[in-house]
Structures are given as structure tokens and as C-alpha cells.
Structure 1
Amino acid sequence: MIAGIDHVQLAAPPGSEAALREFYTGVLGMTELAKPPVLAARGGCWFQAGTAVLHLGIEEGYRPSAKAHPGIRVDRIYDFAKRLEAHGTQVVWDYDLPAHNRFYAKDPVGNRLEFLEPVAVKPPEN
């Protein structure tokens, strides 16, 4: 019955929208989506790139999670990592997921983000 994931929501502290916009559009290259007026009044911002949609909602007493994160598929992961590093974002590589290259980074408010790209697996030789 589940057809897919519509979006992932992350939390952010009040007043962080400008930093979020700069990071998600300027660094990650996502497009900001217009929020419906009734939801825009609550603050926060929405972003999309391809099928990935992230909602950043304002939360009083916000505290970033140490473990929870969205997994975001990217193309040319090494170039993407260099882009983040060039903008001052720390990249932490993790090669423990079979058949994937991946790294973790944090957005300006401390949300953990996983970026991954499947690695082409060679077919067995006969």
C-alpha cells in the first residue's frame, strides 16, 4: 500500500531560515519550494532536488539528533563532497555500507545528513 516517501522533515531552531536557505540552495543546490500560506506562518522552509524533498520545521528548544538522518542519493559523490568542503562543510566518509560510497555532513543547525551513491558491482566472471 505504501507508494513512496513524500518528504522528510527535519527540525531547526527559530530564526534559522536564512542559514538554512543559504545551505540547502547555495551549497547543496536544492530549490526552495513555496509553502502554503497557513504553513509559512509557522516558519521553516521546504527544499527539493529531483525526488528528494526536505521540510525544515521550526522547533522551540531544538536539539539536533546525533543519529537520525535522511539518506540522500547523489551522482558523482566525490565531486559533491568537494563542493561541500569548498563551502566549509565537514565531510566524514564511511565505507561500511556494501556496494555504496557514502559520507555524512551536518547542515548549519546540526542536522545529520547522509549522502550516498551506489557503486557499480562487477558481474561474476565465468
Structure 2
Amino acid sequence: MTTTPASAPAFSFAAIDHVQLAIPPGGEQQVRAFWGELLGLAELPKPPALAPRGGCWFQGPAFQLHLGVEQDFHPARKAHPGFHIRGLRALAERLTDHGYPVTFSDEVPGQDRFHTVDPFGNRLEFLEPYAMSAN
């Protein structure tokens, strides 16, 4: 069901700036290997005031991914970011080759998609709308 506000708000959403996922203490090398080396995102330096907290930040094409240390870490098994990908099947093969599970789903019409997990069990979704894969 779609709802429409009674009056237009004086603001609008422009884009997602970043997504944050939790990692356990000491997990920085594993996320660098996964997000940086395996998936090819560039690591960003954290602002000096935040660096002592640990974790890592990465830059995507139109977003940032922040991996923050959580002392009492529990992986997100339901909540997840969804990333549009060009070359989804090649990514699935790369993840599988590196031992990550890939579970495809056809439940959402118009897109090829799968779920996997990061090194700590956080759920991730990667999808490619059929119109993107045709280009």
C-alpha cells in the first residue's frame, strides 16, 4: 500500500550516503580481504576522531560502506544491504570460488538476484535488473 502525505514536505531524499554493517572486534583484516580485495571497493581513511573506534570504511560507485566494530557482535541475518551489480553471475562465481555461499532467488520479478554472507555472517543481497544485464 502506498501512502501520500497530505502536504508536500519541505525536504526530499537525494541518495543513500552510506550503509553500516557491524563486525566483531579485530575483524578489520577480514573485511579488507572481503570488501577490498575480493569485491574491489577502495578503502577510505576514517576521520581521525572515529579511527580509534576501529572498523573500516569503503567507497562504492555511489555509496560508502562503513564496517563498525560492535563489542557484543551478532551478525545481521535478516536485515541487509542490497547492491545493484553489473555482471551478477560473474560475481556469484567469484564468491563461490572463494568459499562464500550463493543462494539465487527468483521471487522478485524483473531481476536476477542472490544472497550471500560476509566473513562474519552478515546477510548481503546482490541484484541485477534484467534491463541492466541486457546492456
Runs of 4+ in 1 over 6 A off after TM superposition: none
Equivalent position to 2:108, from 85, 97, 101: 97
Q: Aligned partner of 1:4: which letter?
A: A
Equivalent position to 2:35, from 6, 24, 37: 24
| Number of residues of Structure 1 aligned to a counterpart in Structure 2 | 121
Equivalent position to 1:38, from 41, 44, 49: 49
Q: Aligned partner of 1:113: which letter?
A: L
Unaligned runs of 5+ in 1: 122-126
| 1:80 maps onto 2:91 in alignment | yes
TM-score, length-scaled by structure 1 = 0.92
What's the CA shift for 1:29?
1.1
What's the CA shift for 1:81?
0.6
Match of 1:124 in 2: none
Q: Aligned partner of 1:20: which letter?
A: V
Kindly provide the CA deviation profile for residues 57-91 of structure 1, in whole angstroms up to 9, marking residues without a partner as x: 00011101220000001001111111111111111
Larger radius of gyration: 2
What's the CA shift for 1:33?
0.9
Match of 2:118 in 1: 107
Match of 1:56 in 2: 67
Q: Distance in 2 between matches of 1:88 and 1:19?
A: 14
Q: Distance in 1 between matches of 2:73 and 2:110?
A: 35
TM-score, length-scaled by structure 2 = 0.86
Q: Aligned partner of 1:88: which letter?
A: G
Q: Aligned partner of 2:105: which letter?
A: D
Q: Distance in 2 between matches of 1:37 and 1:46?
A: 13
RMSD over equivalenced CA pairs, Å? 1.2
